[in-house]
Amino acid sequence: MAILTRICYHTIMLDIKFIRENLEVVKAGAKKKKVVVNVDRLVGLDDQRRTLLKKVEGQRALQNEVSKKIAAASDSMMRDVHIRDMQGLKANMQQDEEELKTVIAEWRVLMLKVPNVPDMTVPDGDSDADNQEIRVWGEKPQFPFAPKDHTKIMRALDMVDLDRGAKVSGFRGYFLKNDGVRLSFAIWQYALDFFGKRGFTLMMAPSVVNKEPFVGTGFLPQSEEDLYKTQDGAYLSGTAEVPTMGYHMDEVLDKKDLPKRYLVFSTCYRREAGAHGKDVKGLIRVHEFYKIEQVILAEASHQVSVEMHEWLNCNTEEFIQSLGIPYHVVVNCGGDLGLGQVKKYDIELWVPGEMTYREISSASYFHDFQTRRLNIRYRDDEGKLQYAHSLNSTAIPTPRILVSLVENFQQEDGSIVIPEVLRPYMGKDSISK
């Protein structure tokens, strides 16, 4: 039907069937994720949709029959009778189509709000405060002096200018300078070399992205307030996950090419709406940043998704270990999961200046939540079309990584020791005045 969008059409095909057959599971999943959605209302609307659709299709069939009778009529009187019948059919069908259009509009809004069901191993909880620590790595540095935070260290070394950043770009604006820039480029190049050895296809993705990939990945309509929107109706992406998932939109992939692994660099933009005053110090939470993202499309297997999820997170852990920065891993509770995530890990780095851990990476898997919306499929061994499974994980974000790196490797004289693996890219062992 013309009034259905492509996304709406695909959710009719399969998602609603799963919802109807697993109603209590879907309700429990929404409750665990703290997502408010009226699933009973959705099912009621779906009943109306099915009834009206059947009725409209029957009227169309009848209309086709009357059209044939008009064409075959042997005299004008009989033709006029059939024409009057056709006019009555059109009037009734127009009324039913308008009602169907209204029902589908509300149905579609609710369909887009239904969250994916979280894995049974996801802990209960309301927010990130309820995430559970599952692993700790590294020794927290013990300084024989009063450690400084990254803003004081980097300002003293002329690596950042936050005041002029705010003057030019507004709240959370910044200029990286001199060795702040060199250190960022060193991290990027090292990350490309480190992750590039693990079978990824390297890409640079656009940050200006049409609406459809945002809806398909689950960032719209729920997170619209956190997105920058252009005057042309596109949005600025906050992660390379969005454009990369749109890369294979409406495609049928070859199973032998799965899993597809992408390592994607992009500029990222987030309004941080509702986060005023939260983590505002220095480079911890900014509006514009850079990120290298791992994105995977795999076969439709829960076991494969679980294995790839662990592999992605392990990649980033090993990268952080090579830098020598202490961290821990938490499994996210239900209330801290996004709409489409089945399960998520966060890696949080130790920040000495705050005596706490700060998130640096998230690794998630989605089953076919995103690919169903984006119509990314492949043919299985029996030739049957299946929706692929999707996963993603941060490889490394800048400038946030600088916060922990600078603070953990600070020296009493105000200098910074450069991690050994970065020295070939920096051309020196330390940053000092």
Residues 375, 238, single domain; the answer is yes
- pLDDT band of 73, cuts 50, 70, 90: low
pLDDT at position 66: 57
pLDDT tens digit string along 181-210? 999 999 999 999 999 999 999 999 999 999
Helices then strands, counting H and E runs in the chain, come out as: 14, 18
Q: Would residue 151 count as lying in a domain?
A: yes
Q: What was the pLDDT predicted at 89?
A: 67
Q: Are strands 377-379 and 385-387 parallel, antiparallel or unpaired?
A: antiparallel
Domain count, the chain: 2
Q: Residue 199: its pLDDT value, please?
A: 94
Domain edge (last residue) among 62, 82, 113: 113
- Give the three-state DSSP class for 184: helix
Is 164 inside a domain boundary? yes
Q: Is there a single domain that holds both residue 20 and residue 167?
A: no
83-107: per-residue pLDDT in tens? Answer: 666 666 677 777 878 888 899 999 9
List 97, 299, 317, 359, catalytic entry: 359
Classify residue 120: in a domain, yes or no: no
Q: Is 405 helix (H, G, I), strand (E, B) or coil?
A: helix
In the residue annotation, 348 being an active-site residue is answered as no
- Do 10 and 93 fall into the same domain? yes
From the list 317, 400, 404, 407, the catalytic residue is 400
pLDDT of 12 higher than 60: no
CATH number at residue 105: 1.10.287
69 and 176 inside one domain: no
Is position 270 annotated as part of the catalytic site? yes
Mean pLDDT of all residues in 203-227: 92
- Tell me which of 362, 390, 393, 404 is the catalytic residue: 362
Task: Specify whether 142 is located in the same domain as 108.
Answer: no
Q: Is 278 helix (H, G, I), strand (E, B) or coil?
A: coil
Q: Which of 73-82, 86-95, 225-234, 384-393 has the lowest mean pLDDT?
A: 73-82
Q: Are 241 and 362 in contact (CB under 8 A)?
A: no
- Candidate list 79, 155, 285, 358, residue with the active-site label: 285
* Residue 85 to residue 189: CA distance in whole angstroms: 73
Check whether 26 has a pLDDT greater than 90: yes
Residue 218's identity, in one-letter code, is: G
Question: Does residue 309 have a pLDDT over 50?
Answer: yes
The per-residue pLDDT for range 324-350, each reduced to its tens digit, is 999 999 999 999 999 999 999 999 999
For residue 92, the model assigns a pLDDT of 72
What's the mean pLDDT in 7-16? 49
pLDDT more than 90, % of the chain? 76
Residues 433/157, Cβ–Cβ less than 8 Å? yes
Q: Which amino acid is at 149?
A: D
Tell me which of 87, 113, 139 is where a domain ends.
113
Q: Which two tokens stand for residue 181?
A: 């820039």
Catalytic residue among 49, 108, 182, 270: 270
Domain-located, residue 1: no
Q: Tell whether 275 and 399 lie within a shared domain.
A: yes
Give pLDDT tens digits for 244-255. 999 999 999 999
Residue 117 DSSP symbol: P
Query: Can you give the CATH number for the domain in which 425 is found?
Result: 3.30.930.10
Asked if residue 252 and residue 140 are part of one domain, the reply reads yes
Domain of residue 223 covers: 128-431
What was the pLDDT predicted at 56?
Answer: 80
Residue 141 has pLDDT above 60, yes or no: yes
Residues 6+ apart with CB under 8 A from 104: 3, 4, 8, 49
Token pair of 222 as six digits: 């729920």
Measured from the Cβ of residue 127, the count of other Cβ atoms closer than 10 Å reads 11
Q: How confident is the model at residue 279 (pLDDT cuts 50, 70, 90)?
A: low
Please, which pLDDT band fits residue 80 given cuts at 50, 70 and 90? low
Q: What is the pLDDT of residue 276?
A: 55
Sorting pLDDT into bands at 50, 70 and 90, what band is 358?
Answer: very high
Q: Tell me which residue of 103, 295, 278, 328 sits closest to 199, measured CA to CA.
A: 295
305 is annotated as an active-site residue: no
Q: How confident is the model at residue 223 (pLDDT cuts 50, 70, 90)?
A: confident
Measure the CA angle with vertex 394, ends 34 and 163; round to 5°.
95
Q: What is the mean pLDDT of the chain?
A: 90
Residue pointed to by tokens 């620590």? 133
Residue ending a domain, among 79, 113, 147, is 113
User: Active site includes 182?
Assistant: no
Res 255: pLDDT: 94
Q: Are residues 258 and 380 in the same domain?
A: yes
Residue (of 288, 292, 262, 309) closest to 191 by Cα position:
292
| Bridging pattern class, strands 260-269 and 201-204 | parallel
> Can 65 be counted among the known catalytic residues?
no
